[in-house]
């Protein structure tokens, strides 16, 4: 763990001491080095348990895929931001990359934490750099509103979590995940215990987001600059899923009865947000609502507490992280050229950007869960386990899959096909950097088809 954490902390001196000519090259190379070191985590020393060198930071098959995703995403974020940050003064550029690197540090410590309270502190700490990125570097005046919604939704959800964790510490004496997994099941039989159960989960459900409390997500994703959107969609949402999976271990048997409203909200949310996607005019807003839809499926899979549900949830989280981030990068390339996120203004792009049309095609096919990509793997496992839980869910999840295919194809056909309007003809051609960014997003998705054991979590 330290072999990744110390280079990540050393990224700060790298950012501030490099000469301005070499800033972006150096930071990209440094973060790629960290990403390649993080791949060594994938070799688990013990088959199902924790791999740790100390008591406080450890990796296990649940956190490792998310850690590798986080480390992989930092060079991609730096690559994506290069163009729109370039006009700014050099110290502001350094500050931007510092915010991304600090987000990386907090996320590594969050996913690697063994004490739940450390996870909570890092969970809250990731809010600050993200808020600064959204409200300072966003492009429209609505970014202030977006930052407010983002901060206060997440904070309001996580304050009960703090209380619940302190209560858990009082009753069991420890908050270490290494110990709690072996503890006796808690006696949960009163109204107070129900509130405690809700307090444990609401923070993560708001972060995921669950359908009823998802309002912060479209605002935050749309108003954030590209690196902010990437990290939000790819990793920060998964913090919620990861936290839920960790907390579910000790929340039985109350979850059997109390999970119903949340499962129903998640499933109905798939259909509702999918339908909203079909009516969007703003490209980034469409991708944001599709994130809510996929995360609804993940939430449903986790709340059911079956092995297939958990495995499906992790696979879908990793696959969705990469694909959603790729879609935001593509939307950003269109935004940088036309300075508008309206879908009808940037249409017919296939004629002038043919290679980029390939990336759009692959990313949209991955979004609609085309076999054999891991998106389908995760979705199919969750749909199957939901069917086992109650056969009536197939109506909701099947309709949800249909609507997902609908809006993914709508996004592709609207942006790529059709006659190219005249004002698009003179747009700047694509840079190698942008093609590299897209390949670095999509190649891991395709490679994961060949070795999905990396993502299955501890249930296999």
Site residues for other proteins per CB under 8 A: 142, 222, 260-261, 263-265, 267-268, 272, 281-282, 285, 307-308, 338, 340, 342, 345, 388-393, 396, 421, 423, 426, 459-460
Report d(CA 1, CA 108) in Å as an integer: 9
Q: Burial code of 411-441, b = ≥16 C-beta within 10 A, e = fewer?
A: bbebbbeeebeeebeebeebeeebeebbebb
Q: Kindly state the smallest distance separating residue 260's Cβ from other proteins, in Å.
A: 6
Sign of CA dihedral 45, 50, 55, 58: positive
Nearer to other proteins, 173 or 426 (CB): 426
Nearer of residues 171 and 281 to other proteins, judged by Cβ = 281
Nearer to other proteins, 7 or 418 (CB): 418
Measured from the CB atom, is 22 or 392 closer to other proteins? 392
Cβ proximity of 95 and 39 under 8 Å? no
Nearer to other proteins, 102 or 135 (CB): 135
Give the nearest distance from C-beta 176 to other proteins in angstroms.
Answer: 27
C-beta closer to other proteins: residue 20 or 398: 398
Q: Which is nearer to other proteins, 1 or 313 (CB)?
A: 313
Q: Which is nearer to other proteins, 96 or 211 (CB)?
A: 211
H-run or E-run covering 9: helix 2-9
Question: Shortest Cβ distance from residue 11 to other proteins (Å)?
Answer: 36
Q: Which residue has the tokens 């429209």?
A: 140
The minimum distance between CB 282 and other proteins, in angstroms, equals 5
Residues in the chain: 460
Torsion of CA 231, 234, 299, 223, to 10 degrees: 50
The answer to whether 305 touches 313, Cβ cutoff 8 Å, is no
Query: Residue 12 or residue 387: which is nearer to other proteins going by CB?
Result: 387
CB of 324 to other proteins, least distance (A): 20
What is the nearest approach in angstroms of other proteins to the Cβ of residue 212? 9
Instruction: Give the contacts of 71 (CB within 8 A, at least 6 positions apart).
Output: 4, 31, 34, 35, 37, 38, 104, 108
- CB 458 → other proteins: shortest distance, Å? 12
Cβ burial of 196 (10 Å; 0-12, 13-18, 19+) is: buried
CB of 271 to other proteins, least distance (A): 9
Question: What is the maximum span of the chain, computed from C-alpha positions, in angstroms?
Answer: 69
Q: How far apart are CA 115 and CA 174, in angstroms?
A: 9
CB of 307 to other proteins, least distance (A): 5
Distance CA 416, CA 351 (A): 8
In sign, the C-alpha dihedral spanning 275, 280, 283, 289 is negative
Residue 112 or 147 having the CB closest to other proteins: 147
End-to-end Cα distance, the chain: 24
How far apart are alpha carbons 31 and 43 in whole angstroms? 20
Closer to other proteins by CB, 8 or 285: give it.
Answer: 285
As measured in angstroms, the least distance from the Cβ of 393 to other proteins is 8
Name the DSSP class of 353: -
What minimum distance in Å lies between the beta carbon of 390 and other proteins?
5
DSSP assignment of 290-305: HHHHHHHHHHHHHHTT
Minimum CB distance to other proteins smaller for 88 or for 257? 257
What string of DSSP letters covers 35-100? HHHHGGGGS-SSSSS-EESSSSBEE-TTHHHHHHHHHHHHHHHHHHHHHHHTTS-HHHHHHHHHHH
Smallest gap, in angstroms, from Cβ of residue 268 to other proteins?
6
């Amino acid at each position: 763990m330290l072999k990744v954490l110390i280079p990540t902390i050393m990224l700060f001196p790298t950012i501030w001491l490099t000469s301005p000519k070499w800033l972006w090259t150096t930071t990209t190379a440094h973060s790629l080095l960290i990403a390649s070191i993080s791949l060594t985590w994938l070799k688990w020393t013990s088959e199902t348990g924790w791999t740790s060198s100390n008591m406080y930071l450890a990796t296990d098959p649940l956190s490792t895929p998310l850690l590798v995703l986080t480390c992989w995403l930092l060079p991609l974020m730096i690559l994506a931001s290069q163009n729109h940050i370039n006009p700014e003064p050099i110290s502001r550029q350094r500050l931007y990359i510092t915010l991304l690197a600090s987000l990386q540090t907090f996320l590594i410590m969050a996913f690697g934490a063994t004490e739940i309270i450390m996870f909570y502190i890092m969970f809250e700490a990731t809010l600050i750099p993200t808020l600064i990125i959204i409200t300072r570097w966003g492009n429209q005046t609505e970014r202030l509103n977006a930052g407010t919604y983002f901060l206060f939704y997440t904070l309001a959800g996580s304050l009960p979590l703090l209380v619940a964790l302190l209560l858990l510490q009082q009753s069991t004496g420890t908050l270490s995940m290494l110990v709690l997994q072996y503890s006796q099941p808690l006696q949960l039989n009163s109204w107070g215990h129900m509130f405690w159960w809700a307090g444990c989960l609401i923070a993560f459900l708001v972060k995921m987001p669950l359908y009823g409390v998802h309002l912060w997500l479209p605002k935050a994703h749309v108003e954030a600059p590209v690196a902010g959107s990437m990290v939000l969609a790819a990793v920060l949402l998964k913090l919620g899923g990861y936290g839920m999976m960790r907390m579910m271990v000790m929340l039985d048997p109350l979850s059997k009865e109390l999970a119903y409203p949340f499962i129903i909200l998640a499933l109905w949310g798939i259909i509702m947000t999918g339908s909203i996607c079909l009516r969007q005019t703003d490209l980034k807003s469409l991708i944001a609502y599709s994130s809510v839809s996929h995360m609804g499926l993940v939430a449903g899979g986790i709340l059911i507490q079956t092995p297939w549900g958990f495995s499906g949830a992790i696979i879908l989280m990793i696959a969705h992280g990469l694909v959603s981030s790729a879609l935001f990068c593509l939307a950003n390339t269109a935004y940088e050229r036309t300075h508008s996120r309206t879908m009808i203004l940037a249409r017919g792009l296939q004629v002038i950007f043919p290679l980029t049309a390939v990336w759009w095609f692959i990313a949209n096919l991955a979004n609609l869960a085309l076999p054999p990509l891991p998106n389908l793997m995760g979705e199919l496992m969750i749909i199957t386990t939901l069917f086992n839980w109650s056969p009536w869910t197939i109506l909701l999840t099947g309709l949800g899959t249909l609507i997902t295919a609908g809006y993914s194809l709508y996004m592709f056909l609207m942006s790529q096909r059709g006659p190219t309007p005249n004002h698009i003809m003179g747009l700047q051609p694509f840079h190698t950097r942008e093609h590299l960014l897209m390949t670095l997003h999509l190649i891991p998705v395709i490679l994961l088809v060949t070795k999905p054991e990396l993502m299955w979590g501890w249930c296999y």
